[in-house]
Amino acid sequence: LKPGRYAERITVDASPDPTCDPGTEECEQWYPGVYNVTVMVCNGECGSHHPHSQIYDMVKGSFRID
C-alpha cells in the first residue's frame, strides 16, 4: 500500500450466541452501557520489547449499547 491515511471501520456483533447453553457453559453477555475500544496497528507484537516491534498507530473510541 502507498503511504497515506486509510479509513477503516470495525463491526461488533453483540447479539447472543444461539448455540450457547447456559446450563453447560458461561455465555457471553453484553450489558447496556458504554464500551471502550482501542485499536493498534503494530510491526511485530504490540507491546513487545523486541527491537523490531513498534506501534505504528493507535486510536481509541467507544460504542454504546442501550
Domain segments of the chain as ranges: 33-65
Picking from 9, 15, 5, the residue whose alpha carbon sits closest to that of residue 65 is: 15
H helices of 1-66, in order, are none
Each residue's pLDDT tens digit, 12-58: 899 989 999 999 999 999 999 999 999 999 999 998 999 899 999 99
SS3 (DSSP) at 36: strand
pTM tops 0.85, yes or no: no
Using the structure block, give the residue that is written with the C-alpha cell 485499536. Answer: 39
